Amino acid sequence: MAKKDEYKMFVKARQMMNYFKGELLPFINHLCRRDMTTGDLDGFIFDYNKKVYYALEQKRGHERHRKSQDLHLKFLQTILDTAKKDKRFSDWNMKVYKVVGDPPFDNAEILDYPFTTGIDVTQDQMIDFFNLNVTYEDLIPKYNEEF
């Protein structure tokens, strides 16, 4: 069975089970202080050899984007930018990205911080990006300069 078919089966099974990821956040949200923000990242990509760290947040196409979460992502990007000032990390590619789309991600939008514009991508382009075969800049459409 092809990897993409396996992935589509996984998505369907997960939707059927109404999977809730993690038990810690509901615990904190229900039983701890209300004057702080709690949340999670959907993932990260860390490749020490290629010197890449991407923090990833995913939103479904219809899901609203919370201001508190965007503030956290801004804070995280500031930390990454500060780390790049250290000579040990100055040549690293460290970014926060938001992916807007619905499984199985046949089409999605990838936004880099500050999330003002995004790039529409296909599933194959997303795979190339997450495999670190292309950069975000490589995905930006190139327009014909003759116009």
Q: Is 82 in a helix, a strand, or coil? A: helix
Question: Does the pLDDT value for residue 127 go beyond 60?
Answer: yes
Alpha carbons within 13 angstroms on the beta-carbon side of residue 27 total 4
Give the bridge partners for 53, in sequence order: 46, 94
| Residue carrying structure tokens 């003759």 | 146
Tens of pLDDT, residues 97-126: 999 999 999 999 999 998 888 999 999 999
**Whole-Å CA distances, 1 to 7, 71, 83:** 10, 42, 43
The pTM for the full model equals: 0.80
> Do residues 137 and 146 touch, judged by C-beta distance below 8 A?
no
For residue 3, what pLDDT band results from cuts at 50, 70 and 90? Answer: confident
- For residue 7, give the DSSP letter: H
**In the chain, where the domains are located:** 1-35, 41-139
